[in-house]
Structure 1
Amino acid sequence: MPPAATAPTALRRALPLLAAPVAFFVAFFAVPMVVVLSSSLAAGGAPSLANYARVLLDQYHWDVLAVTFRIAALTTLAVTLLGYPLAYYLVRVVSSNALRRSCVILLLLPLFTSNIVRSFGWMILLGRNGLVNDTLVGIGLLERPVRFLGTEMGIVIGLVYILLPFIVLAVGNALATVDPTLEEASADLGASPFTTFWTVTFPLCLPGLIAGVIMVFTLAASAYVTPALLSGGKITVFPMLIFQQYSTVFDVHYGGALSITLLVFTLVLVALAGRIGNGGGDRS
């Protein structure tokens, strides 16, 4: 049969397989998004942008948004600086498959624990008399305990611990697809290990790095549990405002406007990051 005739047949065969994921997407993503958007546009029983004006014309919301994205950016930077070398070590340095699997299992094991439990653990570790302060004071790096809880640094530490596996897996998968013979050819041509990494390895795994960075940034910007527990009520991020409107104030219209605002700004930043990354990939 000609290809034009087989295409409809293949499509009909694929439809039953696509029905379940499409229905899941519509029921648990599209419909809730439509509900949140419609509720954000309602005020006094009529369509209105009053909720968005309330959000965007208040300097307080801009300040909270800046704190939210600053914490997300610092978390993403820290996770990248820690996760990329770890992923490189697991893929390029560790030669034993058994050891590599063991390291990956140890990396993923915390994901089977609730964020609430892990955040409470960090509250104990980062306390004034916690293990972190006692260790830093004991080895002489600090003269007296410092306050981690209730600071942006404490929130970043908790988020880095939670989100580190995502960047390691994304970069590790990208590194695994890089043909080692390309690096060997670069070395044979006289390039130093640093030059080989920067001109061959890094550009080839850049798409995986960008995907991991985007994933970590969006998760950090939308995190609620970790900032709420580690901030001690002293720092407010946008997801905390949204949760407050839905669970305490019961203002679904204002909460919907906050949710859509956070979503739009996050998507804009992600789009900018993707464009910058693609530009860098084109130049390389």
Structure 2
Amino acid sequence: MSAQASVVLKLISLPLLFFAVFFMIPLGVVLVSSVIDPASAQPTAAHYLRILADQYHWEVILTTFRIGMATTVLCLLLGYPLAWYLVRIVRSPRWRRVCIIILIVPLFTSNIVRSFGWMVMLGRSGVVNDALRSLALIERPIRFLGAELGILIGLVYILLPFAVLSIGTALSRMDRSLERASQDLGARPIQTFFHVTLPLSLPGVASGAIMVFALAVSAYVTPALLSGGKVTVLSMLIYQQYSTVFDFNYGGALSIVLLALTLSLVALANHMGRVKGEQ
């Protein structure tokens, strides 16, 4: 082994060890427990069959991924204009830094604190309903808490910075000469955006969508607090099995199902992105 290879091996050994100890081993424990019968300590698929055969679990799964998809779409729709503003509109480096600080500062606050803040704002007599009634836009308070709408608002607020930063990075690294060439050839600004700018920024859009979706479907605190227990997502069901029922085998099966479905959708999105890029 060469000296250079030995140095590289030493550099990556510690991260690999950390990854194995704090991710792969716990994941392996969860996977093994999900296929073990606690009564006989024998391998079994009963936990997975229980999930697949119960309509309630399918409803929870559909609710989880419906909220995750809606959160992802809204974060991209709101995040792209914000990223465009930071990269293309803001000229002052000082103001850009201020905007980025405003964007990421909420990430340093606990999700619990932010969720409680939204509970105050979205209540029947909260700031949002009071503002809508004062503007004569509604007659009765809108039910945000205890509904998917409240969960969606909270998740979009928490996860929006991930989309903005990812898309902004792609826009800042883009070769602006391609856009100028498009305009020199007679393309209108809207045509340049859809045929040049947007396709070149798709890697940033895709990475932002993957991060937002993965975090949204695995979120527990925000759905638990803003739903008031009236809307159940898969992470809440997993937490219930581990902390209340103490059925670690069944909870492990639910965890593996959530992981498998999330990775499958992410892999499908990556495949579709590669196919579209090749075209």
Q: Tell whether the structures are fold-level matches, with TM greater than 0.5.
A: yes
Residues 1:58 and 2:54 aligned together: yes
Comparing 200-209 and 8-17, the one that deviates more:
8-17
Find the aligned partners of 1:278 and 1:139 in 2 and give their Cα distance: 47
One-letter code aligned to 1:37: L
One-letter code aligned to 1:262: L
Match of 2:264 in 1: 268
Residues 1:146 and 2:142 aligned together: yes
2:93 to 97, 102, 108: 97
Residues 1:191 and 2:187 aligned together: yes
One-letter code aligned to 1:116: I
Match of 1:27 in 2: 21
2:7 to 6, 9, 13: 13
SS in 2 for 1:128: coil
Find the aligned partners of 1:282 and 1:137 in 2 and give their Cα distance: 51
Find the aligned partners of 2:167 and 2:196 in 1 and give their Cα distance: 15
One-letter code aligned to 2:6: R
Match of 2:205 in 1: 209
Comparing 132-141 and 117-126, the one that deviates more:
132-141
Deviations 1:199-240 (A, max 9, x none): 111111101110110110010000000000000111000000
Find the aligned partners of 1:64 and 1:42 in 2 and give their Cα distance: 24
Deviations 1:89-117 (A, max 9, x none): 11011111111111000000000000000
Deviations 1:31-72 (A, max 9, x none): 011000000010021111111111111111001000000000
Deviation at residue 280 of structure 1 after TM alignment: 2.1
Find the aligned partners of 2:234 and 2:76 in 1 and give their Cα distance: 23
Match of 1:158 in 2: 154
C-alpha RMSD of the superposition: 1.0
2:115 to 119, 139, 144: 119
Find the aligned partners of 1:206 and 1:113 in 2 and give their Cα distance: 30
Find the aligned partners of 1:84 and 1:11 in 2 and give their Cα distance: 42
Residues 1:277 and 2:273 aligned together: yes
Match of 2:233 in 1: 237
Structure 1 spans left out of the alignment, 5+ residues: 1-6
Q: Is the 1:206–1:281 contact (alpha carbons within 8 Å) kept by the matching residues of 2?
A: no
Find the aligned partners of 1:101 and 1:279 in 2 and give their Cα distance: 37
For these two proteins, the number of residue pairs brought into alignment is 277
| Identity within the alignment, % | 60
Residues 1:107 and 2:103 aligned together: yes
Deviation at residue 13 of structure 1 after TM alignment: 1.1
Deviation at residue 144 of structure 1 after TM alignment: 2.0
Find the aligned partners of 2:138 and 2:278 in 1 and give their Cα distance: 46
Match of 2:69 in 1: 73
SS in 1 for 2:229: coil
TM-score (structure 1 length as normaliser): 0.96
1:182 to 178, 182, 195: 178
Find the aligned partners of 1:232 and 1:164 in 2 and give their Cα distance: 23
Find the aligned partners of 1:140 and 1:82 in 2 and give their Cα distance: 26
1:248 to 228, 244, 250: 244
SS in 2 for 1:156: helix
Deviation at residue 129 of structure 1 after TM alignment: 0.4
Deviation at residue 264 of structure 1 after TM alignment: 0.6
One-letter code aligned to 1:73: M
One-letter code aligned to 1:108: I
Find the aligned partners of 1:74 and 1:8 in 2 and give their Cα distance: 51
TM-score (structure 2 length as normaliser): 0.97
